[in-house]
A and B are shown apart, each in its own frame.
Chain A
C-alpha cells in the first residue's frame, strides 16, 4: 500500500520544527511502524538528507523507549500497543499519518521525535523505591502477600515509563505514571513503612517538574500500552490525602 508520513522534523532543542511530508510506497502490513521509519531513513541517508531521529530499543513493547504521537494518539490507534508493536496493517492505503513528538513542558524535544523524559526518573528518585539495603531482606516467604494484592501490585508495576500518559493528557499530567509507582509499592506490605513520605515526595517532585494536574479525563488510561487504570490515580489521591494529614515533618524529610 501507499501512504504519506508527515513527520515532525526539528534539528535541535532550540530549533524551530515543522511537519515534513514523505510519500511511502510498498508499505507492507507486516512492517512495524518503526520498520517503516527504518526504510524511510535508509532512503533519506542515501539521498544525503538527515534521517528521522526516534527513540527505540527492545522493539517488543517492554522497554518503554519508543513512542510518539501517531495522528493525534500516543502510540497510535491500536489499544494496549506501543509504537514498536504497531503494525502497518492497522492503516489503509492512501492514509496520511502524522507523527509528532510527545509534547510536555517536562519533555523537551531533543531532535525530531526524540524527547527528554528524564523527568520520569526524577519522580522515581524522589521516593519510588523501598529502602532495602542489599542483603537485608528476610526470607522471601516470611511476609505473606495475598494473591489479590500481589496481582494488583503487578498490574501497577507493569508500567513501562514510556510517557504516553503524559503526552495524551490534555493537561500534560504525570499522575498515571506516578500513581502506578505509588500503587505498586503501596499495595505491598514491604512498601508500607515509606508509604506516606513516598506519596508526598513523589507528588511534590512531579509538581516541581512542571507536569499539569489531573482532571480525570481518562485519556492516559486510554492510550496506556500496559493497561494501567485510573484506579491507581485514586489510590495516589488517597495516599496523598492521608499522608498530608498524618505524616510528620521529620518523616517526610528523610530518604
Chain B
C-alpha cells in the first residue's frame, strides 16, 4: 500500500489556497444531513466541534472529563506562536514555517507546516474576537515574547495560562453551539471502539462513565482529537486521564500510527519526590532565561548547595554549549541533565535532579525583577516541594511532555482509513521529530478552526447524504460486543496487582529503555519486557467493582491495557529508526559532542505502522519526505 499524502501541487505559498479551491464543497442545505462525531474537546476538538456546528453540520462531541473545558490543553502555560510580525523584527509566514521545519529536525511534511504558519495569524484574530484576554502593552496593542530560543518575538500569551484561555475561548464557542442545538455534548463519555463499515470510519462505541452504559453513535465521519500518548511513560506532565485508547482503537481498526517514537521531554520539571509520585509538574521554560543550571563536579557531593564553592560546581550547559548555554534546546538540555545524574552527580532525593540557580541573576537584577518575572513559578515550586527557592536553588529534572507522533493523516487531516480525521496532538503531522515551544496550541487551533472545516467537506461531498448506517448495523453490534467482552474480561481476572502497579512497571521500562536516550540493546530489552508485562497484566490484574456504574479503576484498566500495546509499537519504531533526529536520540548516532546525527539518506521518511494483530510485529509503511523549500542541514547549538 502506498501512502498518498495528497499534497497539492504548485509552489508552497499557493498550495493551501489552490487546495481550498480544488476541494469539493458541501451544499449548505445538505450540511445538516451529515453527522460528525468529534472525540476530545481540547483546542483541536473543541475548536472543530464549534466551527463545524456553526457551518451547519450535526455534531456530537465527546470527552471523558466532566466538562469540555477541562481537556488538558488547559495546562499549557507558555503561549501560542503566530507570524503576525507585530514586533517588526523580521518574522514572516515563511520564517515561522522555516523555523518549525528546522525545529522538527526535517522530519515533518513541508506542505502541512507551511499551512500551519499561514493560518497562524487568523488564529490570533479569532481568539481575540472570542474574548481571549491576551497580554497587552500599555498602548493597548498585543504583547509578544520570544519563546523557546526563537530569534523573533512571535509568541502571544495570557499570563502563564495561555492554554487555559485559548481553551476557554473554544469552549465558549462550543457552548454557544450546544445552546443552539447544533452540537450535542457528551461529557464523561469515553470512546472505547471505532466502528468501520465498508472500510470507512462511520461511528464509535462509547461508555457513559457515570452509568456504565455502553452505546453506539453513528456518523458520516469521525474526528479524533484525543491528544497524545505521553502517559505510556506513567509519569509525565500529562493529565492523569490522558490516554491513547481512542487512537489506539482506531489503529487496531486499520489507521496507521506514524512516528510513535517522537516523544518530547521537557527539561524544566519538578523532580520526583518519592514512590507516591503520581504525575510531574512542568515549570515554564522561561526560567532558563535567568537561571543557571549546575551540579556538583564530584559524584556523591552531598553538601548544601551554598556550601559548594564555585570551583566545585559544574555549569555543564554553559561548559558544553557556550553560545546557547542554559538556553540550549529542550532535548539537548534534557539529555545533558540525565547524563550528569547517571554519573551520580544529581541532586535532591533519589539523585534525579539538577540545580537551577538564580543567585547570580538576583544579585545582578535585584530580587524585585526576578520576582516580577518568575514570582508565580517560585510560589508553585515552593507549594509542591516545600523548599523556598529564594533560599535553595530550584531543583529540576526532565519529564515526558508531548508526543509528536500520532495517527498518520494526509494533507486533509484524514487517516489512511477513509472517514477518520485526526486533529491536534493525536495526529503526527506538523512537528516532525521535535516541537518548538508555543507551537502545540497553534497546531491544535489551526486544525480545529481553520483546516478541518474546509477539508472535511472534501470527504463528505463524496458521501451521499442520508446513506449513513444506523446503530443497528451489525458492525456496531459487533463493536459493542467487543467492548463489553473486554470490560468483562478485565473485571473477571481477579488477580493480585492493581492497574497502577502495572502502569508504573510499564512506565519504568519505557523511561529507562525508550526514554531520553535510546540504543539498540535497550530497545530490544524493552521489546522483550513489554509483552511480558502485558501478558501478566491480563492474568494478574485486579479490577474491582462492576462495569455498570462509576468505576474509575475499570476506566484506568482499559487505558493501561492499550498503553501496554502502544508502548511496544513505540519501541519498535525507535528501534527501526536507526538515526538520531529531534527528540529521538539513538546513542549510536551522535557527534563527538553528543549532538544528534540524522541519517537523511536512509530515514527521511514518515514511518507509518500498520497493526497486524495482537502480538504480531507491525508492518512499516513509508511516506518519503521531500524538502524543496528548507534545505536539509545539521543542527548546531554550539
B140 touches A145 (CB 8 A): yes
Which of B7-15, B378-386, B456-464, B529-537 sits within the interface?
B378-386
- A34-62 toward B: CB 8 Å interface, digit per residue (1/0)? 11101100100110111101011111101
A93 at the interface (CB under 8 A from B): no
A161 at the interface (CB under 8 A from B): yes
A contact residues around B487 at 8 Å (CB): none
Bound Cα distance from A244 to B282, whole angstroms:
46
Bound Cα distance from A133 to B129, whole angstroms:
9
B contact residues around A229 at 8 Å (CB): none
B135 to chain A, nearest CB (A): 7
Bound Cα distance from A219 to B237, whole angstroms:
32
A91 to chain B, nearest CB (A): 13
A144 at the interface (CB under 8 A from B): yes
B168 touches A157 (CB 8 A): yes
B210 at the interface (CB under 8 A from A): yes
Nearest to A64 among chain B residues (CB) is B70
B84 touches A140 (CB 8 A): yes
B200 at the interface (CB under 8 A from A): no
A118 touches B142 (CB 8 A): no
B549 touches A12 (CB 8 A): yes
A46 touches B179 (CB 8 A): no
B240 touches A57 (CB 8 A): yes
Given contacts A125-B179, A129-B172, contact A45 B498 (CB under 8 A): yes
B contact residues around A36 at 8 Å (CB): 276
B497 to chain A, nearest CB (A): 9
- A12, A57, A188, A190: the one contacting B65 at CB < 8 Å is A57
- A45, A81, A110, A128: the one contacting B553 at CB < 8 Å is A45
Nearest to B70 among chain A residues (CB) is A63
A116 at the interface (CB under 8 A from B): yes
B contact residues around A50 at 8 Å (CB): 544-545
- A46, A153, A154, A191: the one contacting B498 at CB < 8 Å is A46
- B67, B86, B273: the one contacting A121 at CB < 8 Å is B67
B172 touches A134 (CB 8 A): no
Nearest to B552 among chain A residues (CB) is A53
B contact residues around A58 at 8 Å (CB): 70, 72, 74-75, 239-240
B281 touches A60 (CB 8 A): yes
Bound Cα distance from A8 to B445, whole angstroms:
41
A141 touches B74 (CB 8 A): no
B contact residues around A161 at 8 Å (CB): 67, 69-70
B274 to chain A, nearest CB (A): 6
B contact residues around A136 at 8 Å (CB): 126, 129
A34 touches B278 (CB 8 A): yes
Taking CB atoms and an 8 Å cut-off, the chain B residues in 1-52 that contact chain A are: 47, 50-51
Interface size on A, residues (CB 8 A): 78
A247 at the interface (CB under 8 A from B): no
A85 touches B165 (CB 8 A): no
B106 to chain A, nearest CB (A): 31
A56 to chain B, nearest CB (A): 6
A123 to chain B, nearest CB (A): 9
Identify which of B131, B138, B173, B282 gathers the most chain A CB atoms within 10 Å of its CB: B131
Nearest to A139 among chain B residues (CB) is B125
- B118-162 toward A: CB 8 Å interface, digit per residue (1/0)? 000010111111110111111111100000000000000011010
- A115-150 toward B: CB 8 Å interface, digit per residue (1/0)? 011101100111011111111111111011111001
A140 touches B128 (CB 8 A): yes
Which of A23-31, A167-175, A207-215, A235-243 sits within the interface?
A23-31
B contact residues around A139 at 8 Å (CB): 125
B240 touches A56 (CB 8 A): yes
A42 touches B176 (CB 8 A): no
A66 to chain B, nearest CB (A): 10
A19 at the interface (CB under 8 A from B): no
A contact residues around B175 at 8 Å (CB): 121, 124-125, 128-129
A34 to chain B, nearest CB (A): 7
A contact residues around B496 at 8 Å (CB): 46
B453 touches A45 (CB 8 A): no
B279 at the interface (CB under 8 A from A): yes
B279 to chain A, nearest CB (A): 5
A224 at the interface (CB under 8 A from B): no
A111 at the interface (CB under 8 A from B): yes
B142 touches A59 (CB 8 A): no
Given contacts A129-B176, A147-B137, contact A137 B384 (CB under 8 A): no
- B520-562 toward A: CB 8 Å interface, digit per residue (1/0)? 0000000000000000000000101100011011000000000
B128 touches A137 (CB 8 A): yes
B448 to chain A, nearest CB (A): 9
Query: A residues near B, CB below 8 A?
Result: 12, 28-32, 34-36, 38-39, 42, 45-46, 48-51, 53, 55-60, 62-65, 78, 81, 85, 87, 89, 110-111, 114, 116-118, 120-121, 124-126, 128-141, 143-147, 150-151, 153-154, 157-158, 160-161, 184-185, 188, 190-191, 255
Closest A-B pairs by Cβ, 6 of them: A137-B129, A144-B140, A129-B172, A132-B129, A137-B125, A30-B273
Query: B residues near A, CB below 8 A?
Result: 47, 50-51, 54, 65-70, 72, 74-75, 84, 86, 122, 124-131, 133-142, 158-159, 161, 164-165, 168, 171-173, 175-176, 178-180, 185, 187, 210, 237, 239-241, 273-274, 276-279, 281-282, 383-386, 449-450, 453, 496, 498, 500-501, 542, 544-545, 549-550, 552-553
- 6 A–B contacts from the bound complex (CB under 8 Å): A46-B542, A48-B544, A58-B240, A59-B279, A132-B173, A184-B131
Known interface pairs A46-B496, A134-B54; 4 further A-B residue pairs with C-beta atoms within 8 A, sorted by A's residue number? A35-B277, A53-B550, A57-B65, A59-B278
